[in-house]
Amino acid sequence: MAVTRPNSDDTTISAHDPLLPWLLSIKKALDEWYLDNQSGVANLDKLLSDCITNFKHHSQYKNDIRFLKIWFLYLEGHKDFEKVFREMEKIEICIGHSLLYQWYALFLEAKGKWQAAHMVYQIGISRKAEPLEKLKEAHSLFLDRISGRLNATSLQKVDKGELIETEKSGVNPWSSSTMEDQLKRINAKLIKYDGYRASNKVYSGKVALPSGKNLSRNKIIELGGKKYQIKGCAGQGGFAEVFKAFVNSDPEDVVALKIQKPAFPWEFYMYRQLDQRISVEERSRYGFAHRIHLYSDCSILVCDYIPQGTVLDAINSYVVVGKSMEEVLCIYYTIEMLCILESLHNVGIIHGDFKPDNLLIRYTRDDLTTDGFHNHSGPWCDQGLCLVDWGRGIDLRLFPDNINFTGDCRTSGFRCVEMQEKKPWKFQASLNLM
């Protein structure tokens, strides 16, 4: 791989921002690396190392997020990551930014050093690293993740003597122990569902699975006898990434591949429950999952791809031009949301993560008339909203009728009042958007 070195003669750029030419060179090197199937990694590491050496003592870049990202790119290829972090802290690279602590803690967690990761979160919070709310939210999610891995004794001392709630007044439906118990209970049913494909081995395809840091367009991965041509990233979360893909290179057959690590079959189960409980007339409002490929290290969920974007995208499209969505359209989408929730709750399902990001917009290809609007028939079946991302879905039929839940969805800005006040909740979890 040819790595372009920064042009020292470009004095106009260098005088104001000496780091910029390096950033452009690193971006070019990364692009070539991805396209070249990750060859030339040593050259890229050398470029990153040289950049850090040149600028690590420049006060101009101590709080520059761009420089922080260069450190983390370098870190991924470094064996002694803790030594690198200690150096970053010593020379005060972005110590006031929450990303430093979030990324450091994730590295430690991946190595199984949970107590050390917990301490890193606490250090960042004590320093009031910004944005502080994001850091606190990441810390809470971290505590949720490790709650099922640690024994009961250590759980009670994780937060320096501050007890983690035992949820006596209800059940946390998203705790590791609850999820593990439910997956055991449904396993016999799960393995019989159409589209369920499981292996006890790690994913070992000829082509590596795509990821945000290793995304090559037109990469083709083979799953279950089908070839999926990756066309881009459609979404990304804390534990999963979603990619747009052509099936067997056919642009008319487009799907979404949701790749999650570790493997997570629960969402596939929720989609099959929707197939069974929601009427045919309303089923298109909740997304479809064709199949799931489960491996010991990851799962790949194959779903319908809806290209029109989310409600959040629609709202933002108005915001950027200084306008607001028309009132009649707001009313229409509100009716759609209420109908979606009413149908779900009637069949004993709670979505658990109801927010604009998870509501896709659907447009019919046929002309709309007043006929069929009230009963959602004809072209209106394909018009409206579609609720996706069922990873936090709750099947009430797996719990006693009088159940009350405790626990927090940890979705900033969309937590119901009961979650915020640590009170029991049930259907209130879905009313935070209303």
> Which residues form the catalytic set?
353
Q: How far is CA 339 from CA 182, 231, 350, 381, 391, in A?
A: 28, 33, 13, 13, 21
- Report the alpha-carbon distance of residue 295 to residue 11 in Å, rounded: 52
Q: How many CB atoms lie within 10 A of CB 118?
A: 20
- Report the alpha-carbon distance of residue 99 to residue 81 in Å, rounded: 16
How many residues make up the chain in this entry? 434
Backbone angles phi, psi at 44, to 5 degrees: -65, -45
Tokens of 385: 């909203």
